[in-house]
Structure 1
Amino acid sequence: MRYREHPPPQALRPFVRCLWELAHDYGGSGYSREHLWATPYAELLVLRAGSYRAGGRTLQGVAFMGPRTRPVTLTSDERVELVAARFHVGGARDLLACRPGDAVDLVADAPEVLAPTTPLGSATTLTALAGWLHLHLGHATPDPVVVTAARIVAERCGQVPVTSLAGELGTTTRTLQRRFDRSAGMSPGALARILRFNRARELLVRDSRVDLAALAAETGYADHAHLTRTFRERFDLSPREFRELLREITEAGVASVQA
């Protein structure tokens, strides 16, 4: 697998976390799946070769993946090459033809959900994709409160109560919730839960032998049982079963692409 991330041009940095590219021969690798975990970051993919299958539909050409509150599995049995953009929380709002909340957990052909009608299928290089994004986001302005709140939550790995977050920002919990709903389609509490869980997952990936009680304490869960319940809710797997999945992926020589 060849996977590379690139910083976006300066003009896109308020909206785009990174541009990235991937090339992988799933048919020749012996491993045909990509496990994509929950993430608050939407992505826009331009597939210049191959396709994925997800949830009974085929993704080819240009695809949009909204923020995810649950994992998604992509499958392919051919060589896939693509370029993509990964957005900040709320960064894709001005590209959408639907409410941001309707894009959460959405995996779709991009023309179904994008407002711009300018063709994107020819943007098969990172430079061309960045140019298309600049054309449609160059005059937009992200919500500064949502931007700051998302940064604080990320810096603290999700371990911040929403009431405390609102107080730091000089606003009310209700107002903060409304601003997140308009920009990101998910609540600040949902963002915190996803990032807190992803921190626990990352630490487990880094050291599969880590003590689960210590991991729960470090990442803000009440106890080992709370962490296990959350893993089952997110993956339908216990932490130990997740370790087995990691071992399977590692032995197959595949590094899943994650936000």
Structure 2
Amino acid sequence: MVNPTRGVLYPARLPQFHRLPAPSSVTDLVAWFWIPEWDIAPGRSSRQEVVAYPALNLVVDADAVTLSGATTRLSHRDLRGSGWAVGALLRPAAVAALIDEPGSLVDDERVLDEGADVAHLRRSVAVAMGSGEGHRPRAVEAFSRWLGQRVGPVGDPARQANAAVEVLMGDGAALTPEEAATRLAVSVRTLQRMTHRHVGLSPGAMIRRRRLQEAAQRVREEPGADLASIAAELGYADHAHLTRDFQAVLGVAPRVYRSETRR
């Protein structure tokens, strides 16, 4: 599984946070499940800042079921009181069953209308989360059963979209849309149609987001690493390009971010 802190800018500030693998029944539908749990003193809050994956998330909490779109900027959530959430980082194959136009949710989210189907998901996950030891795997299992039934059989076009996102975001990912298209044996235009249909972003935007996630993780976790070397290894034109990307999305330069995460 991908490093559980990739995309999380300040891991030391996290409440309890777990990433669980998707059960075998839904590996075509979910990259992983993520579960934060928090209990924050009255009058205080915990701000969680994230460079999110370029993907949709389906999130269940005690009050609602929310579909969150891919993001193109830094996002945050302020946690207060006590609570929990169970989120699924969706693979492209799951998206069509939940929304017709994922591009309409970029940098946005939508609470799903609570008909009987959605209400059942929220209740079953909530029951699992309140069930004591082993509650997280039980919540994931309940979530997975619901999603598998909602999506149904996965066809070849959905599997091809999954493969496209893996080439753009997985280990050894392509550095350019042209490289990704070549690996997939499709045209760049076909690749663009796939990512817009299943994620809502262009292949180039997905590559830029992955590169920034990896850069932030390396700047944070490798204090002795030279920033110019990190930039070159991740496909940035130069150190200045890395700095501009950091400042445009995160609002700070890489050296400032490195010092902040080591306090």
Task: With the length of structure 2 as denominator, give the TM-score of the two structures.
Answer: 0.79
Question: 1:189-228 counterparts in 2 under 5 A?
Answer: 189-228=204-243
Find the aligned partners of 1:92 and 1:36 in 2 and give their Cα distance: 23
Q: Deviations over 1:134-177 (max 9, x none)?
A: 12012343623322222122345554221222122222111211
Distance (whole Å) between structure 2 residues aligned to residue 128 and residue 167 of structure 1: 39
* Structure 2 residue 159 is matched with structure 1 residue 144: yes
1:65-214 pair list within 5 angstroms: 65-88=68-91, 90-111=92-113, 117-119=117-119, 120-124=121-125, 125=128, 126=139, 127-141=141-155, 143-155=158-170, 158-214=173-229
Structure 1: gaps (5+ residues): 49-59, 252-259
Task: Report how far residue 202 of structure 1 moved.
Answer: 1.1
Residue number in structure 2 paired with 1:51: none
Q: Which runs of 5+ in 2 are unaligned?
A: 1-14, 129-138
Aligned twin of 2:131? none
Q: How far apart are residue 20 of structure 1 and its match?
A: 2.7
**Bigger helix share:** 2
- Judged with a 3 Å threshold, the aligned counterparts in structure 2 of structure 1 residues 72 and 237 are, in CA distance, closer, same or farther, namely same
Question: Is the CA contact (8 Å cut-off) linking 1:67 and 1:105 kept in structure 2?
Answer: yes
Q: CA deviation at 1:199?
A: 1.0
**Alpha-carbon deviation of 1:29?**
11
Mapped contact 1:95–1:116 kept (Cα < 8 A): no
- The CA distance in 2 between the partners of 1:186 and 1:17, in whole Å, is 18
The residue type paired with residue 19 of structure 1 is: F
| Separation in structure 2 between the aligned mates of residue 217 and residue 116 of structure 1, nearest angstrom | 52
Give the distance between the partners of 1:91 and 1:75, measured in 2 at CA.
Answer: 31
Q: CA deviation at 1:81?
A: 1.5
What percent of counterpart residues are identical?
A: 29
> How many angstroms does 1:32 deviate by?
1.3
Runs of 4+ in 1 over 4 A off after TM superposition: 28-31, 156-159
* AA in 1 matched with 2:160: V
| Secondary structure of the corresponding residue to residue 160 of structure 1 | coil
What's the TM-score, normalizing by structure 1? 0.80
Matched, 1:44 2:65: no
Matches of 1:210 and 1:28 in 2, distance apart?
40
How many residue pairs get matched?
234
Flag the 1:152–1:97 CA change in 2: closer, same or farther, 3 A. Answer: closer
Matched, 1:21 2:22: no
